[in-house]
Each structure stands twice: as C-alpha cells, then as structure tokens.
Chain A
C-alpha cells in the first residue's frame, strides 16, 4: 500500500507538471487564431501550415548550433574545473560550490544586462584588451554570436559543474596514482584514466547544457544579431507581440520535437563510442 503511494507520487507529479501543460499546448496549437482573445474554440491545422518557412527553419538551425556550441564549451570548461575543485581541500571545495550555487540565484535578465555593459565600448572588457595589447582600440563587442555564447556558458556552467561534481569527487584516487607511478604525466593520466571513467556523467552534463540552451530567450535578444535569433525568440514574438497563440504553440511543439531528437541522437552517438 505504502509502496503504491510512493510510486504513484512521481506519476502524479509527472502528470500534473508535464503531461497536462503539454496537452494544453497541443490543444491550443490546433485552435483557430482570434485577434482579440488569442485563440478560440475549434480545430484547424493552420498553425502547423505556417511552420514551413525559411526563417523558422533558419532559427531552428541557429538554436541547434547555439546549443551544441554552448554545451561543448561548458563541458570543455566545466570538466577540468570540476576536476580541479574535487582535488582541493574540503573547505575550499565548499566555498567553490557555494559560489557556483550563488550565481544560480541571479536572474538571466540581470546577467544578460551585465554582459551588455561588460562588452560595451565605454567601460567594457575591450578597454582591458586594449591595455593588454590584444585589440588596437576600444570597440563594442555586441551584438555578436560570441557575446551570446559567452553569456550562455556563464549561465550553464554551474549546472555542468554540479552534475559532474558527485562523480568526480568519488573517483578512486588509487587509479590515478597507479597511472602516475607507471610514468604517466598528469595530463595523460587525466585523459586516459579520468575521462573514460566519467563518460556517462559527461554525456548527461552535455545533454543538459544543450537542453537548457535551446530555450534561451533573453541573452540572444539582448546580445545577439536578429539574423541569429533562435526559435525561442521567434516563439516569444508570435505569442506576446503577434497575439497568435496557436502559431506560438505549434512552434513550441516543433522545437520540443527537435530538442528531443537532438538529445536522443547525442546520447546514442556517445553510447556508440563508449562500447568497446
């Protein structure tokens, strides 16, 4: 009886928090558009008919590219960072984790605005680059894809570290020490021992970073060029400015399907490589 209750709780939450909203989304996506009330009763496939447009497919590609770039960069940065943190003394580890957790409490709107200021001509990073001799004169670094990616990596990095931390901190030190005594350099020990042992959580961290980025709205809007606005921005435009909720819902389902496909594909590719 108690077991049944426990089992049913996740089922109920899944139903309430995921399934019902999704059914509503599906329902609205097949409703006719209404200029005054956002959507009206009835059934039509009009909204899906508007999806086959070059700017939507372009935006979908932009979303996927952005997600892959951000996921790759945050794993590339996050993995060594987490590894370094797990090798530190316990107390310093806690400080690092608290610091990373704290950044999660900042809103992404605030973070995007901070990057906008940081990348500006007047008081931004470019002044430091000029002082270091990396740039000839101060220039504005937005709008650009680099700015969007930098901001998103900042947003996603804590999730990457927190996903990898439990596994990396439980990593058996003896294995690394054995590799080192047998003559492997620290880098070689990391690549040949640590990386293969942690492939699974790394793939999870990668997929999670990707999924988080696919829905990015504020950073591309504030820091990116309109030519590279991802799907989420266009969905916002259709729903909030265009008052076309059915079309926005159809676009969301389209993006959801694409994201699911991408995540499955990534997991499959990774699994294929892990097999001997």
Chain B
C-alpha cells in the first residue's frame, strides 16, 4: 500500500508525551517501586506492549484513540511505534528478529508481506483459544491460514474516483475506464496496482488468472488498451491528489478514505464503488517470533476484533472495519466514509507473492513502450 503519512499527516501532538513528562513519570515510578518493592507481586507489575502501525496519520490516530481504549480495558500500556513501509522494512524486521530484538511486539502488515514474512518463519502462531473474538470478524477474514499467524486489523478500498463536473453521467462500472476518454485517467502504476485486480475481474471473470505468467500477460495486454486514456501513471498518492485538485485528470483509481478527506476539504470529487466492486486490501496484525509478549499481544489482537475497537478504527483512523456492519453502531455517514455495502474485489495477494517480480517487469515493459 502507498504511504499515507505524506498526505494525511495531521499536526497532532496530543498523543505524544513530552520527554520531560516521561522523565518525571519515570522518576515517580522509580521512587514508588523503590518504596513498595517488597510488596509488589510479579504478576501485577505494569504490563506493556509495543505496537507498530504505518507512520504518520495512522500511527497518530491509533495512539490517540485506539490504544487508550485498550489500555483502559486491559491495564496493558501500549507504546506506539512508527513503522515504515516497503520492501526494506520487512528485510530489516527479519534481521532484527534473527538478532532477537524486534522493534515491536505486534506489527500491522500488508497481506503480501505476511506471506513474505511467513516464508522466512518471521511470525509466531497465535493460540485461537486466546483470541475468542476472532469469530466476530466478517466471514472473509476467518481464514488466516493453518499457521494462524495473522489477524485482520482493518481494510482500505481502491475506488473509481472522478471529478463529477468533467464526467457525466457518473460511472457505475470499471468498464468506463476502457471507453473513449483520451488522457483522462490517473492510474496507479506497477505491480502493486489494483488495475491488475480490476482488469482480471472485469475482463476475465476473476483474479485467479493472475496466478500464472500466461494469465498475467493476458491481463497486461488488456491494461495496455488503457494507455491512450491514461494521462498519469502515478506511483505516489500525492501526485494523483495534486492532479485531481488541479483538474489534470478526470478521474482514475484512488484510495476511498483519502478521497473522502479530499471531499471534506472542498475538492469536488466522487469516490465510486463500481458494480463489479472496489478492490479491498486488508492490513493484518502479526507478531515477530522473538517478541516475548505473547499474552499481551493476544489480548491486544483479541481487543482489535471487538466492535468497540473496529468502531474506533472506522471513526478516527478512517479505515474500513473488518467486522460486519450489523454488529457496529456506525451511522450511514460514518460507514460510507470508509466502506460500502457493495461486495468488493479481493486483492490478489497470493498471485502477488508468487509473481511480484514478473508482474513488475511486464508492467514496466508495457507502460514504457
């Protein structure tokens, strides 16, 4: 997934404690501990957990709204860690895990990185009995694999975002991308682009075609038909946002939650869930094997599977809940800001894990020729 921090980062400092306050707090804790030492029982010592999410906006909102609710419910303090994205992060995490010093106890991973980490034995398996709320998740998140090393945290959608003044009538299908609209669209470029899922679903019936190189070639040939219509093959969401704000593109593929923030800030765009479905990507909680906080991690993940936590995530983090709407008390407006009742196209995680390098090379070959 792309970096949200650059665009959505809000200048919020409320969630952060100043260094001086920490030092003062530490002094008090040390003094109390020294006084009460003989009477303290190990099991009642302060419990804590380090949780990492994608940096910037995500991390700030989790620290401000979600973790405090968990601490209140469990008594476990959460230290919020900013987690970078991309290939190098997983690489560094694997090295730190081998050295026995992971920077966090629980991290929030993109689905394909869960598979990459699993291939390196990076994740600890959870005990299903310790995460009873797991069954509260929507049906499509109930298959974490035999290892049970990941639990859905939140989702986000790639939708058809358009400028309603430039495109009438508003599209209800992804097929409109292939109609005659020269230089109209901005579409995410590269192997991580959801245009793979969209093309596979719309033209080949399902994302299964992406499981082998021949299928990928067929899908890319169909994406190539879009070249005359695409003005901007974007890689950074800021580029697409600037293009939308300045009428440089009529529309294209874009993140629903970011589009909703843009609308709130006065940009006249619409985020449409087409009838074939928007592409849903899910982030998952995982625990590096060398983290020792096994109980705390499972308690946290169990909390994340409650309607209470999912409501906080939807309202304040701006991500789609992974629990059915019927179990949540979100208003229509709150729900529409992050999700939709229409069925979604699942992200082609397996295919991307197997074929990322091939998808990337063939895509670049197509787009640069």
Q: Decide: B247 and A122 in contact? CB cutoff 8 A.
A: yes
Q: What is the interface residue range for chain B against chain A?
A: 35 or more
Give complex CA distance A227, B367 in Å: 7
Asked if A58 meets B247 with Cβ closer than 8 Å, knowing A35-B116, A239-B87, A243-B87, the reply is: no
Q: Decide: B91 and A234 in contact? CB cutoff 8 A.
A: no
Which residue of B233, B238, B239, B357 is within 8 Å of A243 (Cβ)?
A: B357
Q: Decide: B87 and A120 in contact? CB cutoff 8 A.
A: no
Give complex CA distance A229, B367 in Å: 10
Tell whether B86 is near chain A: CB-to-CB under 8 Å: yes
Tell whether A237 is near chain B: CB-to-CB under 8 Å: yes
Q: Decide: B120 and A238 in contact? CB cutoff 8 A.
A: no
Digitize B211-242: 1 where CB-to-A-CB distance is under 8 Å, 0 elsewhere. Answer: 00000000000000000000111011011001
Tell whether A65 is near chain B: CB-to-CB under 8 Å: no
Tell whether B356 is near chain A: CB-to-CB under 8 Å: yes
Chain B residues within an 8 Å CB radius of A234: 364, 368
**Nearest B residue to A234 by beta-carbon distance?**
B364
Give complex CA distance A213, B335 in Å: 47
Chain B residues within an 8 Å CB radius of A116: 239, 242-243, 246, 248
Tell whether B369 is near chain A: CB-to-CB under 8 Å: yes
Tell whether B289 is near chain A: CB-to-CB under 8 Å: no
Asked if A117 meets B246 with Cβ closer than 8 Å, knowing A35-B353, A55-B368, A55-B369, the reply is: yes
Q: Decide: B189 and A242 in contact? CB cutoff 8 A.
A: no
User: How far in angstroms is the closest Cβ of chain B from A124?
Assistant: 8
**Nearest B residue to A39 by beta-carbon distance?**
B91
User: How far in angstroms is the closest Cβ of chain A from B240?
Assistant: 10
Q: Decide: B356 and A242 in contact? CB cutoff 8 A.
A: yes
Tell whether B48 is near chain A: CB-to-CB under 8 Å: no
Q: Decide: B117 and A36 in contact? CB cutoff 8 A.
A: yes
Chain A residues within an 8 Å CB radius of B35: none
Asked if A241 meets B190 with Cβ closer than 8 Å, knowing A36-B117, A37-B94, A38-B91, the reply is: yes
Please provide the chain B residues from 101 to 118 with a CB less than 8 Å away from any CB of chain A in the complex: 115-118
Digitize A223-239: 1 where CB-to-B-CB distance is under 8 Å, 0 elsewhere. Answer: 00011010000100111
Which residue of B87, B248, B356, B364 is within 8 Å of A142 (Cβ)?
A: B248
Interface size on A, residues (CB 8 A): 36
Give complex CA distance A150, B233 in Å: 20
Q: Decide: A121 and B248 in contact? CB cutoff 8 A.
A: yes
Please provide the chain A residues from 10 to 55 with a CB less than 8 Å away from any CB of chain B in the complex: 33, 35-38, 53, 55
Give complex CA distance A65, B115 in Å: 41
Please provide the chain B residues from 344 to 358 with a CB less than 8 Å away from any CB of chain A in the complex: 353-354, 356-357
Which residue of A33, A55, A121, A221 is within 8 Å of B364 (Cβ)?
A: A55
Q: Decide: B360 and A238 in contact? CB cutoff 8 A.
A: yes
Q: Decide: A226 and B360 in contact? CB cutoff 8 A.
A: no
Give complex CA distance A140, B231 in Å: 11
Which residue of A36, A222, A226, A240 is within 8 Å of B119 (Cβ)?
A: A36
Give complex CA distance A65, B30 in Å: 65
User: How far in angstroms is the closest Cβ of chain B from A64?
Assistant: 16
Chain A residues within an 8 Å CB radius of B242: 113, 116-117, 120
Chain A residues within an 8 Å CB radius of B271: none
Asked if A59 meets B91 with Cβ closer than 8 Å, knowing A35-B116, A123-B246, A240-B86, the reply is: no
Q: Decide: B119 and A122 in contact? CB cutoff 8 A.
A: no
Tell whether B140 is near chain A: CB-to-CB under 8 Å: no
Q: Decide: B87 and A59 in contact? CB cutoff 8 A.
A: no
Tell whether B24 is near chain A: CB-to-CB under 8 Å: no
User: How far in angstroms is the closest Cβ of chain B from A32?
Assistant: 12
User: How far in angstroms is the closest Cβ of chain A from B168?
Assistant: 19
Give complex CA distance A226, B364 in Å: 8
User: How far in angstroms is the closest Cβ of chain A from B259?
Assistant: 19
Q: Decide: A35 and B231 in contact? CB cutoff 8 A.
A: no
Please provide the chain A residues from 90 to 126 with a CB less than 8 Å away from any CB of chain B in the complex: 113, 116-117, 120-124
Chain B CB within 10 A, most for which of A36, A121, A143, A222: A36
User: How far in angstroms is the closest Cβ of chain A from B97?
Assistant: 12
Q: Decide: B91 and A37 in contact? CB cutoff 8 A.
A: yes
Please provide the chain B residues from 327 to 369 with a CB less than 8 Å away from any CB of chain A in the complex: 353-354, 356-357, 360-361, 364-365, 367-369
Chain A residues within an 8 Å CB radius of B369: 55, 227
Tell whether B192 is near chain A: CB-to-CB under 8 Å: yes
**Chain A to chain B contacts (Cβ below 8 Å), 14 pairs:** A35-B119, A35-B353, A36-B115, A37-B94, A37-B119, A55-B368, A55-B369, A116-B242, A120-B246, A123-B246, A143-B232, A221-B239, A226-B367, A229-B368
Show the binding face of B for A, using Cβ within 8 Å: 86-87, 91, 94, 115-120, 189-192, 231-233, 235-236, 238-239, 242-243, 246-248, 353-354, 356-357, 360-361, 364-365, 367-369
